[in-house]
Amino acid sequence: MTPQALTLAQNRLEVSWSDGSVVSLTAAALRRSCRCGDCRALAARREPVQVAPALAVLDARPVGAYGVQLEFSDGHDRGIYPWPYLRELGRAAAAEDYQPAGSVCTRCSASSSSMAA
List residues near Zn ion by CB under 5 A. Answer: 34, 36, 39, 79
Q: Residue 87 in 3-state DSSP?
A: helix
CB of 34 to Zn ion, least distance (A): 3
What is the phi-psi region of residue 63: left when phi exceeds 0, alpha when psi lies from -120 to 50, beta otherwise? beta
Torsion angle, CA of 43/15/62/59, rounded to 10 degrees? -70
Q: How many CB atoms lie within 10 A of CB 78?
A: 14
Q: Residue 16 in 3-state DSSP?
A: strand
Q: For residues 41 and 105, which CB has a smaller minimum distance to Zn ion in the complex?
A: 41
CB of 36 to Zn ion, least distance (A): 3
Q: For residues 79 and 90, which CB has a smaller minimum distance to Zn ion in the complex?
A: 79
Greatest distance between any 2 Cα atoms in the chain: 61
Q: For residues 36 and 51, which CB has a smaller minimum distance to Zn ion in the complex?
A: 36
Cα 114 to Cα 106: distance, rounded to the nearest angstrom: 12
CB of 117 to Zn ion, least distance (A): 55
CB of 37 to Zn ion, least distance (A): 8
Q: For residues 16 and 80, which CB has a smaller minimum distance to Zn ion in the complex?
A: 80
